[in-house]
């Protein structure tokens, strides 16, 4: 786990720095709707931008203002501090309005802080519907981004190169899918913290290196016998984008619980389904990234998302769902309320938790609420086990 932990907890991890030393470019991207396969096909390392290692938001506060999600604030803070100086480019996507504003705020901050805006700074638009017109729009955006990358970096992105990248990423997806299946078992042999750490690492490490280490780790998991889930409450973590390993650790350490599933865009959710390797690779990328509609930014797909989360709850034998949203995250804040209503009606206990990201995180308050939630689940379980059997007339 050492290399995964390094990649998941450091902005400038060893894997990125080694890639940079080789003279090859690095491009950061803000949203899971931007296909990393395209950058890989261009010989560029795609790195998901994160807000870890911040110790304040003084720079970001000057451009964003107070009433906005702290996740993009922390990203801008790192940019202003020069922590992204290894980037040759950045791709900004409107995952939400707060993330969209990074484009204009980062550019504006660049007028006051020299050298913090990467040479390639691109706005990648994503529609809010996956119907035919939205799919056509998304395909066109993919083609425009490919052309912009080719022009700036003087490279050629071919269909053959994209297909090779898809196959390489699919190798990792298959292994992560197997790890996810292990978590569905009655006896779970791997902690949610370790799985989340390994998944985060995949968003920043070179894919060949990542696949190699993931293969070795998976080989070890297959040989494990000791159950980590015995007599533990099985949790799912859902909600706002988060790359904070400490959040998963907070749910698991000294609580009598284990996280067996996530439904957040930094987790294993986006890695479960492989991309089709036959046909036009641009069409296949568009279908994969748009058809899933797993994010509340996508209009008219709530029932599909609810069905999907219920299926994962059943498969992973989840006892309760912790639905966190970063303060001022309107998308997940609203959707978590809908999930809470519908999942509680189905008999699935839910905890709706509003929090801050990064340096303002209040772990003590969250710990108190998590413990109370686990007591509720435990009491419900004990009540079921003591209920008398019904006798038919």
Q: The CATH number of the domain where 113 resides is what?
A: 3.40.50.11900
Helix, strand, coil percentages for the chain (3-state, nearest 5):
55, 10, 35
Residue 4 domain flag: no
Residue 393 domain flag: no
Residue 359 above 90 pLDDT?
no
Residue 352 domain flag: yes
Q: For residue 190, which of 225, 215, 235, 214 has the smallest C-alpha distance? A: 225
Q: Are 311 and 78 in contact (CB under 8 A)?
A: no
Q: At what angle do helices 330-345 and 302-315 cross, to 10 degrees?
A: 60
Task: Specify the residue for token string 């804040």.
Answer: 333
Q: What pLDDT was estimated at residue 381? A: 76
Q: What pLDDT was estimated at residue 342? A: 97
Residue 387 above 70 pLDDT?
no
CB-side exposure of 48: number of CA atoms within 13 Å?
27
Q: What pLDDT was estimated at residue 3? A: 96
Q: For residue 55, which of 68, 28, 73 has the smallest C-alpha distance? A: 73
Residue 217 domain flag: yes
- Report percent pLDDT > 70 for the chain: 96
Q: For residue 36, which of 49, 19, 21 has the smallest C-alpha distance? A: 49
- Banded pLDDT at 390 (limits 50, 70, 90): very low
Instruction: Tell me the mean pLDDT in the region 205-209.
Output: 97
Helices (H), 117-258: 132-153, 159-184, 192-201, 207-223, 245-252
Residue 271 above 90 pLDDT?
no
pLDDT tens-digit series, residues 127-174: 999 899 999 999 999 999 999 999 999 999 999 999 999 999 999 999
Order of strands across the sheet with 257-263?
A: 257-263, 233-239, 320-326, 350-355
Residue 391 above 70 pLDDT?
no
- Banded pLDDT at 34 (limits 50, 70, 90): very high
- Please, what is the average pLDDT of the chain? 93
Q: For residue 89, which of 41, 39, 127 has the smallest C-alpha distance? A: 39
How far apart are the C-alpha atoms of 260 and 312, rounded to whole Å? 10
Residue 11 domain flag: no
Q: For residue 30, which of 127, 129, 96 has the smallest C-alpha distance? A: 96
Residue 391 domain flag: no
- Three-state SS at 83: coil
Token pair belonging to 37: 């396969």
Order of strands across the sheet with 26-29?
A: 45-48, 26-29, 89-92, 120-123
Name the domain count of the chain.
1
Helices (H), 226-280: 245-252
Q: Are 291 and 215 in contact (CB under 8 A)?
A: no
What is the DSSP secondary structure assignment for residue 390, as one 8-state letter? P
pLDDT tens-digit series, residues 92-119: 999 999 999 999 999 999 999 999 999 9
Residue 81 domain flag: yes
Domain ranges, residue 162: 17-380
Residue 175 above 70 pLDDT?
yes
Q: What pLDDT was estimated at residue 224? A: 96
Residue 46 domain flag: yes
How far apart are the C-alpha atoms of 344 and 223, rounded to whole Å? 37
For 114, counting Cβ atoms within 10 Å of its Cβ (0-12 exposed, 13-18 middle, 19+ buried), the class is exposed
How far apart are the C-alpha atoms of 305 and 251, rounded to whole Å? 24
Q: Are 309 and 340 in contact (CB under 8 A)?
A: no
Task: Specify the residue for token string 């966190």.
Answer: 324
């Amino acid at each position: 786990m050492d290399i995964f932990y390094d990649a998941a907890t450091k902005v400038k991890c060893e894997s990125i720095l080694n890639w940079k030393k080789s003279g090859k470019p690095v491009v950061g991207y803000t949203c899971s709707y931007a296909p990393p396969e395209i950058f890989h096909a261009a010989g560029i390392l795609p790195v998901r931008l994160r807000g870890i290692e911040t110790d304040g938001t003084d720079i970001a506060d000057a451009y964003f203002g107070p009433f906005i999600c702290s996740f993009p604030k922390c990203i801008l803070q790192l940019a202003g501090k020069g922590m992204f100086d290894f980037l040759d480019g950045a791709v900004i996507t409107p995952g939400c309005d707060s993330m969209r504003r990074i484009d204009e705020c980062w550019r504006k901050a660049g007028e006051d802080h020299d050298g913090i805006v990467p040479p390639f700074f691109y706005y990648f638009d994503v529609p809010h519907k996956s119907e035919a017109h939205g799919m056509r729009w998304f395909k066109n955006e993919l083609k425009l981004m490919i052309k912009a990358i080719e022009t700036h970096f003087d490279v050629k992105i071919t269909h053959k190169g994209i297909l090779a990248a898809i196959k390489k990423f699919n190798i990792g997806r298959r292994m992560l899918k197997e790890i996810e299946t292990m978590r569905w078992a009655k006896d779970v042999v791997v902690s949610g913290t370790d799985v989340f750490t390994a998944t985060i690492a995949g968003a920043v490490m070179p894919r060949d290196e990542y696949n190699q280490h993931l293969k070795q780790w998976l080989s070890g998991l297959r040989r494990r016998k000791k159950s980590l889930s015995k007599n533990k409450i099985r949790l799912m973590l859902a909600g706002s984008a988060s790359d904070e390993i400490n959040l998963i650790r907070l749910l698991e350490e000294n609580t009598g619980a284990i996280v067996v599933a996530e439904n957040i865009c930094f987790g294993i959710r986006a890695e479960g389904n492989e991309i089709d390797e036959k046909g036009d690779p641009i069409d296949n990328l568009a279908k994969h990234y748009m058809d899933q509609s797993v994010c509340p930014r996508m209009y008219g797909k709530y029932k599909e998302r609810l069905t999907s989360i219920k299926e994962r709850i059943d498969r992973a034998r989840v006892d309760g769902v912790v639905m966190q949203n970063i303060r001022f995250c309107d998308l997940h804040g609203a959707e978590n309320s809908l999930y809470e209503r519908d999942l509680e009606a189905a008999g699935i206990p839910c905890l709706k938790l509003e929090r801050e990201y990064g340096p303002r995180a209040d772990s003590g308050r969250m710990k108190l609420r998590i413990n109370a939630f686990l007591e509720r689940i435990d009491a419900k379980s004990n009540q079921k086990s003591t209920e008398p059997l019904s006798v038919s007339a």
